[in-house]
Structure 1
Amino acid sequence: MKKLSVSELAKLYSLSRQAIYAHINKGNLSKGSDGLIDFSEAIRVFGEPKSKESKVNESKSINSQEVTEVDMLKCQVDMLEKQLNQAVLRENQSLERESFYQEQIEAMQRLLEAPKPNMTTFTDQKPEPDIAPSINPKVDIAVPEEKITPTPEPTENPRIPVPEHIEPEPKKRGFLSRFFLPNG
C-alpha cells in the first residue's frame, strides 16, 4: 500500500497537521517506524478522500480547535470523576469511623458495672412521715457498722525475706587506707 507523510495526509483530507497529530497521540491513527502513515490506515480513520469539488461544498473536516476542545472536556470529565470517587471514599471512611466509635461506646457501656438489685437508689427511698427531723446539735449521729470498712493491718510482704541476724556494716575506709593500713 501507499504510505503518506503527515503533510501529504493533511492536504489530501483538508485537515491541519495538528489535527492529524492529535489523532496519532490519541491512538486513533498509527505511524510506521519510518514516520509515514499507511494509506489504508488513513482510510480506516478518515474514510475515502473526497474530490476537490466536493471538498469545497462540504465542510465536514475536523477542525483542530474542536479536537483540542473535546480533549480538554474529556480531561475535565476525568478530573471530576476522580474528585467524585475521592469524595465517596471519604464519606465511606467517615461512616466506617462513626460505626467503629459507636461500637466502642456500646462496648464501654456494657463494661460498666450495672447497679446491684439489692441496693436502694435515691429514687427508691420513701420518706417516712412519722419521724420529724431533730434540730438538737448535741445529738451524735450513729453510723451503722456495716458501712464502716476497717483499715487493713499492715502485714509483711512474703516475697521479701527478712534475715534473722543482721551483721553491722564495717567502718568505711578511704582510698589510701585500703592499700596502706592493715585490714580490720
Structure 2
Amino acid sequence: MKSLSVLELSKLYDLNRQTIYNHINKGILSKNSDNKIDLSEAIRVFGEPTKKQDVKESVKVDSPNSAEVLLLRQQIDILKNQLSDAKDREVFYQNQIETMQRLLEAPKAHITTFTDQNPAQPTASPADPEPEPVTSNGEVTTPEQSKRYPVPEQVEPEPEQRGFWSRFFKPYG
C-alpha cells in the first residue's frame, strides 16, 4: 500500500503535524521502518480523507512563485546589469585606446636626428658675406655640405653592478 510522510499526511487530512506526532507518541498511529505512515493505518485512525486529489500534486516544487525561482530571477537580473556595465566599460576603454593611438601616431613636426641637426642661424641679408667654416683638419666646407657632429665616446666604463651581499663580502677590485 502507499506510504506517506508526516507532512503529506497533514496536508491530506488538513491536520497539524503536531497532532500526527502526538498520535504516534501515544501509540494510536504507527510508522513503518522507513519513518513513513501507511495509508491504511491513516484511514483506520482518521477515516477517509476529505480531499480526493493525490498528495504529490498539491506539493509543487516547480511552482513559479517559489522562493528559489524568485531568488534565481533576482540573480539573473543582477548578472544582466553587471554584463551591461562590463560592456559599457569595454566601449569606454576601447575609445580611450583609440584616442591614445591617434595621439601616438600624430605627425611630429620639426623632429630631426642628431646627425641632421643644423644650428639655428639668424637670417642674414644677401649683402652680408657669410664666413666659411673651417674644420679641425683645415678643410673648408661649404653650406651645401651636410655637417656631421662627432659623438664623444664614453670615457669611463660603467662600474660592475654589485648585489647587496657582495658589497660586504667581496672586496673592491
Q: TM-score range by the shorter chain?
A: 0.3 to 0.5
TM-score (norm 1): 0.31
Higher RCO, 1 or 2 (CA under 8 Å, sep at least 6)? Answer: 1
TM-score (norm 2): 0.32
